[in-house]
Structure 1
Amino acid sequence: MNEPSPSPARPSPADGLRAVLARVPVGIVAERRQGRSVWAGVLWRPVSVLPGSPSAAPWTALGRAGGEAALLYAGTADIELCRSETGGYRDNLRSGRPVLWVVLRMGPDGEPRPVLAVTADPATGEALTASGDDIVETVAMPDWVRDLVQAFVDAHHVEHEAFRRRRDDPAAARAGRGEPA
């Protein structure tokens, strides 16, 4: 399969303060399974990513997995690579099991909407769980994505030294002398 290379990012109003330097398109495969309790109807879960933008329409059936789960092509999303997030990418790659965070949003009718986001940054992935209404799951990062993210980190990461402020005379401050804190 021909893996896409990252494309230079065009500015987007959604970028805000994040300077997106590259976008990597990926197709998302999701699993649909019947819940096992009376409180859980249908359960949706992202399970993998495909290279590029497949030509299939979003929510096209791909087959079955494990007998009772249906696999569907959920749609395409871009992994946005930002210089400010390279530390998170690096930590993810060093984890021994690099992952992507995939976000699906359900509509009011309980049916899924287009894929909301995909990220390789652990902090962004964690932040995407804040709404509580979205389905946020990790999927294994394919080797070809890992190689692209590693190349991006190699090209753009700058290590920042931790800076800690120190009082001029901590003992004097404890004794009530010197400048107020």
Structure 2
Amino acid sequence: MPLGIVVRRTPGITRWARWSWRAVAVLPGAASADWAELRREGDAIEYHAATLPLTLWAAETEAYLANLSDAEPAIYVVLREPDSKDHPLEAVLVTASPFEAQDYADTGEEIVEKVPMTEGLVAWVRDFTLEYHHEEAFVKRRRDRKRIDLVEDGKGDARIRQTSDVYRAPRRAVQ
């Protein structure tokens, strides 16, 4: 599903950052856009920055369930500094998976914004998740039956004759 990304520009609060940029909303089913101005309120301006596809994967249904069980389900928008100076930010990805968003947030190079899902998106993601989610049965690992107590660790190289522990305290040198 194509999602339009709405980015808000507000004046920065420090002298080092002239503007503050935040993704504030998504527009489901939006047409393509290239930083089209949507609304202006004083110094704050909202732009339809880009339209990216939201792709849902059957293997990620556990992440979607975690997102839907949150108090406020969200779409995660990943933005980064652009290579060119044509636009202030480049929209990289939209995802409904909090796990994938965490992977992008871990690098520290991208800006990951949590944007509330609309009711229609919640229903769409929920229907997809309920159709493709399969609970995986928990399988407890069992120990191997191999005897590991037969190996003597700490005796050093078996080719060198030594009857005591190799990790013993060194002897005092005779002078």
Task: Give the secondary-structure state (helix, strand or coil) at the position aligned to 1:153.
Answer: helix
Alignment root-mean-square deviation, CA? 2.2
* Distance in 1, Cα, partners of 2:101 & 2:138: 24
Determine the structure 1 residue equivalent to 2:82.
107
Q: Is the 8 A contact 2:82 2:90 kept in 1?
A: no
Match of 1:64 in 2: 40
Matching residue of 1:26? 3
Q: Which amino acid aligns with 2:121?
A: V
**Cα distance, 1:110–1:162 mapped onto 2, change above 3 Å:** farther
Q: Which runs of 5+ in 2 are unaligned?
A: 152-175
Q: CA deviation at 1:110?
A: 8.5
Distance 1:92 1:166 in 2: 33
Which structure 2 residues correspond to residues 121-160 of structure 1 after superposition, within 5 A? Answer: 121-160=97-136
The equivalences for 1:41-52 within 5 A come to 41-52=18-29
Aligned to 2:53: 78
Deviation of 1:46 after TM superposition, in Å, equals 0.5
Q: Residues 68 and 156 from structure 1, CA distance in 2 versus in 1: closer, same or farther, beyond 3 angstroms?
A: same
CA displacement at 1:169 relative to structure 2: 6.6
Identity of aligned residues (%): 36
- Contact 1:58–1:74, Cα closer than 8 Å, also in 2: yes
Q: Supply the distance in 1 between the matched residues of 2:89 and 2:22 (Cα, whole angstroms).
A: 13
C-alpha deviation, 1:81, in angstroms: 0.4
**Aligned pairs (5 A) from 1:12-23:** none
Answer yes or no: is the 8 Å Cα contact 1:101–1:125 preserved in 2: yes
**2: CA distance between counterparts of 1:155 and 1:103?**
27
Q: Tell me by how many angstroms 1:177 deviates.
A: 5.1
TM-score (norm 1): 0.74
Answer with 1 or 2: which has the greater Rg: 2
What is the rounded CA distance, in whole Å, between the counterparts of 1:128 and 1:95 in structure 2?
20
When normalised by structure 2's length, the TM-score is: 0.76
